[in-house]
Amino acid sequence: MEKDTPSITPKSFLRTFKLIHTALTAGVLVFGVMMFLQTKNQQLNLNYTGDVMYFVVPFMAVAGILAGNYLYGNMLKGLASMKTLREKLNGFQSASVIRYALLEGPAFLGIVAFMNEGNQYYLIFSVLLLGWLIMQRPTKDKVESDLKLEGSLKYEFQQGDHPLV
């Protein structure tokens, strides 16, 4: 007895992937807002006070952006040899989720450092990373351009309700 599994279409892929991105973004946002509201004795102190996190948080933020972009680019290059749109979309999703995680991790680190120290300096990096994460939101045009879809693959992707092979 075979189960009827719904076919994946470009439209359903994009909708599901947008939901994943929104959930990851909302996790950082909700955690950040909750910790901001619960942290007492907050101040913005841009001067070094001996806390090692003063250097670790910005380093991790920059490293997360650079590593995410590097890995994303390398993984997308590897997708050029894939023949089917489904393989390319799955690879794109994997590359993007890795990129998102490398932004999300340092953002959470900044929030935790803020919780421990009460210094809003750390939140600045978390907010910047959150903004960058929001800007990475998957769109139809972004998928097409990042995957360099052409010809029949581009046509297949633009046929939003047709199942992927």
Residue pair 109/63 in contact (Cβ under 8 Å)? The answer is no
Q: Residue 99 CB: number of other CB atoms within 10 A?
A: 23
* CA-to-CA separations, 47 to 44, 55, 119, 128, 130, in angstroms, rounded: 9, 11, 10, 19, 23
For 103-142, how does the pLDDT look when each residue is reduced to its tens digit (9 = 90+)? 999 999 999 999 999 999 999 999 999 999 999 999 999 9
Q: Which stretch of DSSP H or E encloses residue 11? A: helix 10-38
Residue that is written with structure tokens 């599994």 in the block: 5
Higher pLDDT, 79 or 130: 130
Which residues fall within 8 angstroms of residue 8, CB to CB, at 6 or more apart? 86, 163, 164
Mean pLDDT computed over every residue of the chain = 91
Q: What is the rounded CA–CA span in Å between residue 3 and residue 115?
A: 49
For 150-164, how does the pLDDT look when each residue is reduced to its tens digit (9 = 90+)? 888 888 888 877 777
The end-to-end CA distance of the chain, in Å, is: 22
pLDDT surpassing 80 at residue 7: no
Give the number of C-alpha atoms closer than 13 A to the C-alpha of residue 16, restricted to the C-beta side: 9
Can you tell me whether residue 162 is helix, strand or coil? Answer: coil
The residue among 95, 108, 29 whose CA lies nearest residue 67 is 95
Mean pLDDT, to the nearest integer, of 90-102? 95
